[in-house]
Every structure is written in C-alpha cells, then in structure tokens.
Amino acid sequence: MARKKITQNGGSDGETENSSEAMENKKRDNFVRLASARVSRAIDALSALQKLANTVSYDWTPEDIERIFVALQDKTNSVAFAFEAAKSPNGEKPSKQLSFNL
C-alpha cells in the first residue's frame, strides 16, 4: 500500500491541491459559461429595446425614455455593486428590482 505524503496544512500532498484546483477550475468554467450566455441575452434585450426608438411605429415621450434609462442605469449599478460586495469582507447584498413598468 502506498503512503501519502501529508502536507503542513493536513491534506495529502497532491490530492488536496488537485481537488481544490479542480474545484476552482470548475467554478471558473461555470462562471465563464453562464456569464457569456447571460451577457449575450442582456445585449439581445437591449437591441430589442433599441427598436422602440422607431417613431414611425412607436410614440414615446422624453419622460418615458428618461425612466427607461434611469431603471437600466440603476440595475447596472446594482450588478456592479454585487460583484464588488461579493469580494468585500462584510458581504453587503444589493437590492433587487424584479420588474419595470412605465
């Protein structure tokens, strides 16, 4: 039976490092996969929103547009805050906005 070398942190030499590294790689792969899909969907949604600028087909007011862009800016700020807060020691949670109505 082969012996495992125990490291100072209590784990076996290669096993703990490999499983930890594999977990980090999996987490990274999941992030890249999900972020790519979600950002692509957000861009698609913004492209659909852009089509509403067509005044031949739609009637809107400057106030409508202001409300749309305030809501979008608030949400992008909230997303940025969530990423910053996730790495902060106190781990504050961002507020959620689940829908938008004019």
Rama region for 91: left / alpha / beta (φ>0; ψ in -120 to 50; rest)? left
Mean local confidence (pLDDT), 86-99: 71
The domains of the chain are located at 7-54, 60-102
The predicted-structure confidence for 18-76, as pLDDT tens digits, reads as follows: 888 888 899 999 999 999 999 999 999 999 999 999 999 999 999 999 999 999 999 99
The predicted-structure confidence for 60-92, as pLDDT tens digits, reads as follows: 999 999 999 999 999 999 999 999 989 877 766
pLDDT at 101 over 60: yes
Instruction: Determine contact, residues 78/92, Cβ cutoff 8 Å.
Output: no
* Reported pTM: 0.67
What are the residues facing 12 on neighbouring strands? 6
Going from the C-alpha of 33 to that of each of 14, 18, 20, 40, 78, the distances in angstroms are: 28, 22, 20, 11, 21
Measured CA to CA, the distance from residue 14 to residue 57 in angstroms comes to 64
